[in-house]
Every structure is written in structure tokens, then in C-alpha cells.
């Protein structure tokens, strides 16, 4: 759906490739239609591949080197920008993450862990180069499918275009639709040019991004590299998940996680994407003994202190470099959750903070129910110990398919280590380190307002 929206947003007013038609075009044969029909399924089962993209931008051709992990899908690229500089970019369907250049890391096919921010694809683009890259990335993400496409349908829609040689391999070039189905598409299907070798491997992919020339992607299948580092950064959701059932032991552990928190407190580090190119950070504590979160938050609007309790939250601007041990007495702006206008000041930071508060309960959960409702998404490792990344419903959560919940939980050694929240601008994170500390002395007026 994200890919469909991206294509619709771009308009694809020129993607028919009509200006580049070949006079030698003819209908495809049955064998050629079958080859095209199996291409996307073949790609999904392929190893990650190096690629070179040629983007037409304001009358010039910009060359971008990158790597594509078909299974995620994930694009990792080093993009030239003004002044001879570069930026590193990661893209998944719907989202782009960027950071300052690290040529050494890119050469090693390694993804730096920090310094990234995110933006929405297309709507968050601020330059013609970003827009063109977004369109091309969205197109690349249409190139995999779990099942082969319909050869009979492609026999009607596709045409053979020409023969050629790419990287020493003989190829046949075809004009065929962008293979994403949508019931409300207006007008003819957008098209692309696909160049396939005799084995059915895609060697070149070309689309019209609205410029005079076609954008092209060459798949450099002979380039060898270690693909282990081709995983999305945390802001894009981290490593690939494979939702499965939780076993009885893990269900028992999950059933006790929230109850164990009821008498605990923890230090918290927040990372929350809040807008195109904007990431809020926060540090502080969550005290489930008094159901209080107390943090110092920094974002594009400045620095503030945040107090939250089940009945509401309060904020005050701060010029302190560190979180004050004792909250200031005055200046707080309070928001009771029962107020009609509470939603106006309730953003992704507050959403994640309240989910942290909800991760405590007086009684253990039902292990049997959790065995049915929870999903094990993947298993990471930290300090030699397994970290189970799971989903399970908390009262009030909307129903969701496995792997599609708004929240994920990292559990290790019977404790909650991290809460992830899938938001519009990427994956937010609250990392927890358990620590006993004195209860926060909340000013009386604030306490009365927020519960």
C-alpha cells in the first residue's frame, strides 16, 4: 500500500515511457511472458545485489552507487549532494533515513549506528534530487513478489523492445507495467523497461521520473560483497522480523514482565522521530511504584521537562543541561487527559511515554492467552544473552496482524529492556535500565492536575 501511495503521489504523468518507444517493438512470446512473470518471485529469492543508479535531475545525470536487499526490501546508497559532498541514505517502503557521509563505512557495506534522521518518502523530499530518488526507490520496491505474476496478463500488456549487452551478458529488453495492482488506479498502468538475461535475472530497470531522460538502475550481479550489514537502522525498524508463535517458556516470561515492573523503577533513554528530518531525544526515569515518568526532552522546538502520570502530563521549558533531580515548582503547563484539547499537545513522545507507564500491572498476565496472542518477531543478542523481540496486546490496543502492531517489546533475562513504537516518521524507542532511586517530588499543583 505504501508503494501504491508513493506512485500515486508522484503522479507518474510520464511513466508510460512513450517518448522512448522502439520501432522494433513486438508482442512478447509465451516464453518471454513466462520469463517476465517469474522475475519478481526470482528477485525475492535472490541475494542482496550491488547497483548503480543514474538519475536525471535538472538537466544533469546524477550517478548513485548502492546496495539492495530484496528480502526487506532495503536500499542503502551513497548520494552525491551539492559541493562535491555525499550523504548516506537508507530507504524502506514509505520512509527514507539519511545521515552525514561515511565513505569508509559504505565501502565496507557497513551501516553507521548513529546520526540518522528520517523523513516520509516524497512528501518529505525538499530537493529535486530527493524527489527523483524517492520515485526510483519506490519503483525498486515493486520488484519483488511472493508468487509469480500472471504470464497471460503480461502477454497482453508487455512488448519486446530490443536486444542488448549489459556487463557482458546478452539481454532482452521489455516494456511492461509497473507490477503493483490497485483497484482505484485512474488511466493506463505506469510502465517501466526491464532488461533480463537468459537466466531471467534483471540486469537493468528504467522508469520515467518526469524528466526528459529515463532513470536507470543497473544491477551489478558480478560484484561480490558481504551483505551481513545490509539491515535497516533502528529508526526504520531494525533487522528483518519473521513473526512466529511464542513457546510456553517465553509465554510464562511475558506473563510476568508487567507484574515484575509494578515495584520497580528504571532509567529511560528515548529516541523518537517526530517529523521530516527531526528526531526528539529524551532521558530520565519511569517509576512504576508511583506511575510517574520524568524526563528531559530535546526536539526542534527546544528543551523541556516532561512529567507524566495516568491522569495527564505537564511540561516546562528548561535551560538546564541535565535533568534536575528535583522538578521546578513553577512554570508548568498541565494537560489532563480528560480535557477536550489534550490531543492538541499529545504527540509521539507522549504516546511512547504512556506506553512505558502501561508496562506495569498488579497481577501477572495469563500465560495461556499470551501463548495464543503474542508473536515472536526475532531474537537478537546482547552481552551473550538472547533478547526476544515480541508483540503482545495490552488492554485497549487495536487488533493487528502478527508483525503489524504499533508496539514491540525487547525482553531479556525476564525483564523488559526496550519498548519500540511504530510511528508515522519511523520507529521510536525507549531503552530501559533498571535502577532503584528515590521517588520524584512532584509539585503539589502539578500532581493535582495530572493525577
Q: What is the pLDDT of residue 181?
A: 56
Determine contact, residues 42/196, Cβ cutoff 8 Å. Answer: no
Q: Which of 1-15, 159-173, 224-238 has the lowest mean pLDDT?
A: 1-15
Q: Please, which pLDDT band fits residue 11 given cuts at 50, 70 and 90?
A: very low
- 3-class secondary-structure state, position 185: coil
Q: Is the pLDDT of residue 18 over 60?
A: no
Q: What is the pLDDT of residue 326?
A: 94
Q: What is the pLDDT of residues 303-324, one digit of tens each?
A: 999 999 999 999 999 999 999 9
pTM of the model: 0.89
Across the range 376-401, mean pLDDT stands at: 93
Q: What is the pLDDT of residues 75-95, one digit of tens each?
A: 999 999 988 899 999 999 999
Q: What is the pLDDT of residue 334?
A: 94
Q: Is the pLDDT of residue 41 over 60?
A: yes
C-alpha dihedral, 172 to 175 to 181 to 185, nearest 10°: 170
Across the range 251-262, mean pLDDT stands at: 96
Q: Please, which pLDDT band fits residue 222 given cuts at 50, 70 and 90?
A: very high
Q: Please, which pLDDT band fits residue 190 given cuts at 50, 70 and 90?
A: confident
Q: What is the pLDDT of residue 344?
A: 84
Classify residue 346 by burial, with Cβ atoms within 10 Å: 0-12, 13-18, 19+: middle
Q: What is the pLDDT of residue 184?
A: 52
- Compute the mean pLDDT over every residue in the chain, rounded to the nearest whole number: 91
**Between 213 and 10, residue with greater pLDDT:** 213
Q: Which of 182-191, 246-255, 371-380 has the lowest mean pLDDT?
A: 182-191
Across the range 397-420, mean pLDDT stands at: 95
Q: Is the pLDDT of residue 182 over 60?
A: no
Across the range 188-192, mean pLDDT stands at: 77
List the alpha helices (DSSP H) in 162-315.
Answer: 248-261
Strand-by-strand arrangement of the 302-309 sheet: 333-336, 312-317, 302-309, 292-299, 278-287, 265-275, 426-434, 415-423, 407-412, 385-391, 375-382
Q: Which residue do the cell numbers 537493468 mark? A: 204
Q: Please, which pLDDT band fits residue 10 given cuts at 50, 70 and 90?
A: very low
Q: Is the pLDDT of residue 300 over 90?
A: no
Q: Is the pLDDT of residue 12 over 50?
A: no
What is the rounded CA–CA span in Å between residue 245 and residue 243?
7
**Between 17 and 76, residue with greater pLDDT:** 76
Q: Is the pLDDT of residue 333 over 60?
A: yes
Nearest to 97 by CA among 87, 107, 105: 87
Q: Please, which pLDDT band fits residue 15 given cuts at 50, 70 and 90?
A: very low
Q: What is the pLDDT of residue 339?
A: 85
| DSSP symbols for 98-152 | EEE--HHHHHTT---SSS-EEEETTTT--SHHHHHHHHHHHHHTTS--SS---HH
Q: What is the pLDDT of residue 301?
A: 86
Across the range 224-248, mean pLDDT stands at: 95
Q: Is the pLDDT of residue 9 over 50?
A: no
Phi then psi dihedrals of residue 12, to 5 deg: 50, 35
Q: What is the pLDDT of residue 211?
A: 86
Q: Is the pLDDT of residue 7 over 80?
A: no
Q: What is the pLDDT of residue 125?
A: 92
Neighbour count for residue 136 (Cβ, 10 Å) = 24
Q: Is the pLDDT of residue 16 over 80?
A: no
Q: What is the pLDDT of residue 187?
A: 54
Q: Is the pLDDT of residue 33 over 60?
A: yes
What is the rounded CA–CA span in Å between residue 81 and residue 215?
17
Across the range 344-363, mean pLDDT stands at: 94
Across the range 384-394, mean pLDDT stands at: 95
Q: Is the pLDDT of residue 137 over 70?
A: yes
Q: What is the pLDDT of residue 405?
A: 94
pLDDT above 90: percentage of residues in the chain? 84
Q: What is the pLDDT of residue 83?
A: 84
Strand-by-strand arrangement of the 95-100 sheet: 26-27, 159-166, 169-177, 191-197, 202-207, 215-220, 49-57, 60-69, 74-80, 86-92, 95-100, 117-120
What is the rounded CA–CA span in Å between residue 76 and residue 141?
13
pLDDT above 70: percentage of residues in the chain? 93
Amino acid at each position: 500500500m505504501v508503494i501504491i501511495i508513493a506512485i500515486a503521489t508522484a503522479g507518474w504523468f510520464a511513466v508510460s515511457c512513450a517518448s522512448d518507444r522502439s520501432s522494433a517493438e513486438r508482442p512478447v512470446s509465451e516464453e518471454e511472458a513466462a520469463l517476465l512473470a517469474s522475475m519478481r518471485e526470482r528477485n525475492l529469492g535472490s541475494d542482496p545485489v550491488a547497483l548503480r543508479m543514474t538519475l536525471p535531475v535538472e538537466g544533469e545525470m546524477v550517478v548513485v552507487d548502492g546496495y539492495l536487499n530484496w528480502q526487506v526490501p532495503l536500499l542503502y546508497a551513497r548520494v552525491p549532494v551539492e559541493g562535491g559532498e555525499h550523504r548516506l541514505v537508507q530507504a524502506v517502503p514509505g520512509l527514507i533515513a539519511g545521515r552525514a557521509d561515511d565513505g569508509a563505512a559504505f565501502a565496507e557495506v557497513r551501516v553507521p549506528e548513529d546520526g540518522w534522521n528520517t523523513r516520509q518518502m516524497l512528501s518529505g523530499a525538499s530537493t529535486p534530487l530527493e524527489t527523483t530518488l524517492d520515485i526510483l526507490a519506490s519503483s525498486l520496491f515493486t520488484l519483488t513478489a511472493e508468487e509469480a505474476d500472471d504470464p497471460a496478463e503480461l502477454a497482453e500488456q508487455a512488448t519486446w523492445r530490443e536486444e542488448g549487452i549489459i556487463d557482458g551478458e546478452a539481454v532482452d529488453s521489455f516494456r511492461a507495467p509497473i507490477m503493483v495492482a490497485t483497484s482505484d488506479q485512474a488511466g493506463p498502468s505506469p510502465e517501466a523497461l526491464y532488461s533480463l538475461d537468459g537466466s531471467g535475472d534483471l540486469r537493468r530497470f528504467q522508469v520515467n521520473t518526469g524528466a526528459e531522460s529515463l532513470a536507470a538502475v543497473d544491477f551489478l550481479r558480478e560484484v561480490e560483497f558481504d551483505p551481513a550489514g545490509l539491515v535497516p537502522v533502528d529508526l526504520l525498524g531494525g533487522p528483518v522480523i519473521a513473526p512466529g508463535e511464542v513457546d510456553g517458556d517465553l509465554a510464562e516470561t511475558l506473563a510476568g514482565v508487567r507484574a515484575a515492573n509494578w515495584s520497580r523503577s528504571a532509567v529511560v533513554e528515548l529516541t523518537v522521530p517526530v517529523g521530516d528530518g527531526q528526531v526528539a531525544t529524551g532521558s530520565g526515569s519511569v517509576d512504576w511504584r508511583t506511575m510517574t515518568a520524568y524526563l528531559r526532552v530535546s526536539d526542534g522546538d527546544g528543551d523541556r521537562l516532561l512529567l507524566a502520570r495516568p491522569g495527564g502530563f505537564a511540561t516546562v521549558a528548561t535551560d538546564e543541561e541535565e535533568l534536575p533531580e528535583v522538578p521546578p515548582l513553577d512554570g508548568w503547563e498541565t494537560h489532563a487527559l480528560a480535557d477536550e484539547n489534550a490531543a492538541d499537545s499529545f504527540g509521539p513522545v507522549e504516546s511512547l511515554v504512556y506506553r512505558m507507564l502501561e508496562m506495569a500491572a498488579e497481577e501477572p498476565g495469563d500465560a495461556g492467552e499470551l501463548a495464543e496472542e503474542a508473536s515472536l518477531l526475532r531474537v537478537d543478542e546482547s552481552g551473550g544473552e538472547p533478547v526476544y523481540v515480541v508483540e503482545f496486546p495490552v488492554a485497549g490496543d487495536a487488533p493487528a496482524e502478527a508483525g503489524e502492531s504499533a508496539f514491540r517489546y525487547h525482553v531479556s533475562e525476564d525483564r523488559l529492556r526496550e519498548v519500540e513504537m511504530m510511528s508515522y516518521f519511523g520507529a521510536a524507542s525507549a531503552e530501559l535500565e533498571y535502577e532503584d532511586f528515590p521517588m520524584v517530588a512532584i509539585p503539589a499543583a502539578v500532581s493535582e492536575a495530572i493525577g
